[in-house]
Homo-oligomer: A and B are copies of this chain.
Amino acid sequence: MQINRIVEFHKALGDLTRIRIIALLQQGPLHGQAIAGKLSLKPPTITHHMAKLREVGLIKERRDKNTIYFSLDTKALESSTQAILFLGKKEGDSEMSVTEAERAAILSNFFTPEGKLKNIPAQRKKRLVILSHIIKGLEFGRIYPEKEISEYLQQFHPDYATLRRELIITQFMYRKNGEYELNPRELWDI
Contact = CB atoms under 8 A, between A and B. Distances in A.
A82 B84 contact: no
Contact of A171 (B27, B62, B78, B171): B62
A53 to B, nearest CB: 12
Interface stretch (A14-22, A107-115, A144-152): A14-22
Contacts of A16: 3-4, 7
Interface of A: 3-4, 6-8, 10-16, 19-20, 22-29, 38-39, 62, 64, 69, 71, 74, 77-78, 81-82, 84-85, 87-90, 93, 124, 165, 168-171, 175, 184, 186-187, 189
Given A15-B7, A16-B3, A71-B189, A26 B88 contact: yes
A27 B169 contact: no
Given A11-B14, A14-B13, A24 B81 contact: no
28 contacts: A3-B19, A3-B20, A4-B16, A7-B14, A7-B19, A10-B10, A10-B13, A11-B11, A11-B14, A13-B84, A19-B84, A19-B87, A20-B186, A22-B88, A23-B186, A26-B87, A26-B88, A26-B89, A27-B90, A27-B93, A28-B170, A29-B170, A29-B189, A38-B186, A39-B184, A69-B169, A74-B85, A77-B85
Contacts of A169: 29, 62, 64, 69
A22 to B, nearest CB: 6
